[in-house]
Amino acid sequence: MNARVTPHPHTPIPSWFPRGAALLREPTLNKGTAFTDVERDALGLRGLLPPRISTQDSQVARVMENFHRLESPLAKYIMLESLHDRNEALFYRVLTQYPDEMTPIVYTPTVGLACQEFGHIFRRPRGMYVSLDDRGRVAQILRNWMHHEVAMIVVTDGERILGLGDLGASGMGIPIGKLALYSACAGIDPVKCLPVVLDVGTNNPKLLKDPLYLGVARPRATLAEYDELVDEFIEATQEVFPGVVVQFEDFANHNAFRLLAKWRDRICCFNDDIQGTAAVTAAGIFSALRVTGKPMRDQTILCLGAGEAATGISDLLVQAMVDDGLGEAEARRRCWLVDSKGLVVASRTDLASHKQPYAHDHAPVHDFPAAVNALKPTAIIGVAATPNTFTEEVVRAMAAFNERPIVFALSNPTSRSECTAQQAYGWSEGRALFASGSPFPSASVRGRHFVPRQGNNSYIFPGVGLGLIVSGATKATDAMFMAAARTLATTVSENDLAQGSLYPPLSAVRHVSALIAAAVADVAYASGLARKQRPADLVAYVEGHMYDPHYPEYA
């Protein structure tokens, strides 16, 4: 039985529909105290609920009252997870109505702490766990999932959770949080979303010693074991859920690039850390250039970091520069990376393959401040999860080179951020164009009030996923992520820019996601990659397919 299927109002309730206490225990159908008198009689609920009937609005008010009583972000996370376990529609109604308050709890930065404490706060299983012991029967295991119309899978192996490193099976909090945002921000029906952890062990000694750790307590798999499981899993997803979109999430560099390269032309898949981060960053750059008035082809970009995020960002910005008239080789020479050993340059012999396209001819430079002074970039982008590295020296140097320096401190959670909003604005005398990966409060400098906004992937991946689903795309291409970036940038108003905001308010994210989904679907249709027929009005079609977390009528 697909629990999302509900009887049409005022028609007989089918025999399979749960009744009584069983209905109250089914979160996809439960309305709690909002069941009407007619529903209570028809569904065997009389006496099982307090007699006063609530509206969903009053239930939301009760949730928010209790939410605001809690001081700890982790306590708020646990509260929301418990609500999700009881009443799915109410959970998503709260998320969609209060995105500014809820997104930092169900996703970054709080989800990082929730993953670190996952085995200690665990209450009820959500998602699927596929381990090395499951090789040879992965398809059989996926068929155990209670919903059969899965359209979106987010999968992690837990090796590089945010900036926190190897959290093994405790990384399940990331796919859960990510898919909650797919539903809240883009209206993908929750029953079509499946979070998965590939449990291949962990090299985190703290977890291996923790008696409450819920994963396989062994070192990480060998490469051969790992590839055998991943290959079987990917093939099983397409067998059990034909055409499902697979998002790779928080894989370490050595696996992220090769898995994306292996599967991107064979199934509809993407890596949000590479492609989603690139798109949201590019959108922020496009917004910033509306303020500076300088063209994309004249930018020099310096990334602190040389992994998935940095190379993904650089690849998309290179394409943006090419679109603006540069040759590809010249565009690449305008994008630079700094890793743990200094500036990535051609003379280095220790470079992984993903760094080599950005290894340019230059004398060795051994630290980030020196690289800033040597290259005089127009934009610095922090994605190395190394906190406090955008120092006063660095920001003041950027402000000396540029009238409006672009400073993106994108590492998360907050404890890993390269600098705060107040620091970026203060050290630049209010001239920085700032975005961050985690939320920061507004700042005041020299009588000006600034409202920084996150360069958060939640602006991008929900709409991209929805666009892939509604079009039935067979592949997720770089052109789709460029379309998403440009669409996001167009939603930033002049008033947003005037207050220092390079992204729209999160309160607008469902509308933004609909526009992005339509843009992604448009690319799918134009490229011959769509399996579904093109509707006359793409935006209206997309909006018509978005999940509404208000209660249906059962009787």
What average pLDDT score do residues 407-431 get? 95
Topology alike, domains 111-267 and 459-544: yes
pLDDT of 438: 86
Mean pLDDT for the stretch of residues 398-424: 95
**Mean pLDDT, to the nearest integer, of 545-554?**
93
Strands 152-156 and 245-248: parallel
pLDDT at residue 457 tops 70 = yes
Q: Indicate whether 3 pLDDT > 50.
A: no
Question: What are 360-373's pLDDT values in tens digits?
Answer: 999 999 999 999 99
Which fold, 459-544?
Answer: Rossmann fold (3.40.50)
Long-range contacts (CB closer than 8 Å, 24 or more residues apart) made by 17-26: 17/43, 17/554, 19/43, 19/44, 19/45, 20/44, 20/45, 20/48, 21/48, 24/48, 24/49
Report pLDDT for 6.
Answer: 55
Confidence of residue 539 (pLDDT cuts 50, 70, 90): very high
Q: Mean pLDDT throughout 322-328?
A: 97
Per the prediction, the chain carries an average pLDDT of 95
Measure the CA angle with vertex 514, ends 81 and 34; round to 5°: 40
pLDDT digits (tens, 9 = 90+) for 8-38: 545 567 888 999 999 999 999 999 999 999 9
- Report the CATH number of the 275-452 domain: 3.40.50.720
Of the pLDDT bands very low, low, confident and very high (cuts 50, 70, 90), residue 105 is: very high
Percentage of residues of the chain with pLDDT beyond 70: 98
* 170, pLDDT greater than 50: yes
Instruction: For domain 111-267, give the CATH superfamily.
Output: Malic enzyme, N-terminal domain (3.40.50.10380)
Domain ranges of the chain: 16-54, 111-267, 275-452, 459-544
Q: What percentage of the chain reaches a pLDDT higher than 90?
A: 94
| pTM for the full predicted model | 0.94
CB atoms within 10 A of CB 440: 23
Average pLDDT over residues 265-291: 97
Residues with catalytic function: 107, 178
Q: What pLDDT does residue 4 have? A: 54
292 CB-near residues (< 8 Å, 6+ apart): 378, 402, 403, 404, 406, 433
Instruction: State the maximum Cα–Cα separation within the chain, in Å, rounded to a whole number.
Output: 79
What distance in Å separates the CA atoms of residue 165 and residue 402, rounded to the nearest whole number? 35
Q: How far apart are the first and last CA of the chain?
A: 19
Q: In Å, how far from its chain's centre is CA 90? A: 22
Task: Summarize the confidence of residues 345-357 as an average pLDDT.
Answer: 94
Q: 212-257 pLDDT, tens per residue?
A: 999 999 999 999 999 999 999 999 999 999 999 999 999 999 999 9
Q: Do 204 and 136 contact (CB within 8 A), yes or no?
A: no
Asked if 446 and 193 touch (Cβ cutoff 8 Å), the reply is no
Helices 509-526, 478-490: axis angle to 10 degrees equals: 140
Q: What is the pLDDT of residue 1?
A: 38
Q: Alpha-carbon torsion 159, 161, 163, 166, what sign?
A: negative
Which of 548, 43, 26 minimizes the C-alpha distance to 35?
43
pLDDT band at 108; cut points 50, 70, 90? confident
